[in-house]
Amino acid sequence: MAKILLKNGYVVTVDGKRSVYPGGFVAIEGANIASVGSGSEAPAERGFDEVIDISGCIVLPGLVNGHQHHWYTLFKGLADGYLLEDWVTDFLLPLTRQLSEEAMRLSSYVAAMEMLATGTTCSLNHSVTTTSPELVRATIEPQAELGIRQVFAKELRCRTPANPQHPLTLDESLAAFEEEFRRWDGKDNGLIRLAMVIESNAHWVAAGMTTEELICRGYELARKLGLKISTHIAGGTFSLEKGFLRYLRETGRTDVRYLMQLGLLDPHWVLIHGIHVTELDIEHMARVGCSFVYTPTSESIRGGGIGPFANAWRAGVNVALGTDGPMVDYSVDMVEQMKACMLMQHVRHLDPTRMPPERSIEMATINAAKALGLDREIGSLEISKRADIAVFDIQKPYVGVLHRPISSFICAGKGNDARLVMVDGAIVYRDGTFTRFRESERTVLEAEKIGKKALDAAGLRSRLEPAWRR
Q: Are residues 167 and 311 in the same domain?
A: yes
Q: Are residues 140 and 169 in the same domain?
A: yes
Arithmetic mean of pLDDT, 355-376: 98
Domain boundary among the residues 331, 353, 371 is at 371
Within-domain flag for 404? yes
User: Which residues span the domain enclosing 343?
Assistant: 63-371
Within-domain flag for 458? no
Within-domain flag for 445? no
Domain boundary among the residues 342, 371, 400 is at 371
Q: Are residues 43 and 101 in the same domain?
A: no
Within-domain flag for 69? yes
Write down the pLDDT at residue 286.
Answer: 98
Within-domain flag for 452? no
Q: Are residues 203 and 306 in the same domain?
A: yes
The CATH number of residue 70's host domain is 3.20.20.140
Q: Are residues 325 and 412 in the same domain?
A: no
Check pLDDT > 80 for residue 239.
no
Q: Are residues 99 and 205 in the same domain?
A: yes
HSE, side-chain direction, 13 A CA sphere, residue 138: 16
Check pLDDT > 80 for residue 236.
no
Q: Are residues 295 and 406 in the same domain?
A: no
Tens-place pLDDT, residues 264-275: 999 999 999 999
Strands 389-393 and 418-423: antiparallel
Within-domain flag for 455? no
Domain count, the chain: 2
Write down the pLDDT at residue 247.
Answer: 73
Q: Are residues 31 and 132 in the same domain?
A: no
Q: Are 390 and 109 in contact (CB under 8 A)?
A: no
Q: Are residues 255 and 293 in the same domain?
A: yes
Tens-place pLDDT, residues 419-441: 999 999 999 999 999 999 999 99
The mean of the pLDDT values for the chain is 95
Q: Are residues 19 and 136 in the same domain?
A: no
Which SS3 state, helix, strand or coil, does residue 25 take?
A: strand
Q: Are residues 202 and 273 in the same domain?
A: yes
Within-domain flag for 440? no
The CATH number of residue 7's host domain is 2.30.40.10
Strands 291-294 and 318-321: parallel
Domain boundary among the residues 330, 345, 371 is at 371
Tens-place pLDDT, residues 118-177: 999 999 999 999 999 999 999 999 999 999 999 999 999 999 988 898 999 999 999 999
Within-domain flag for 285? yes
Q: Are residues 96 and 204 in the same domain?
A: yes
- Give the integer Cα–Cα distance in Å for 455 and 459: 6
- Hey, what long-range contacts does 283-289 have (CB within 8 A, 24 or more apart)? 283/315, 284/256, 284/257, 284/260, 285/256, 285/312, 285/315, 285/317, 286/312, 286/315, 286/316, 286/317, 288/260, 289/318
Least confident of 205-214, 216-225, 267-276, 390-399: 205-214
- Give the integer Cα–Cα distance in Å for 123 and 322: 8
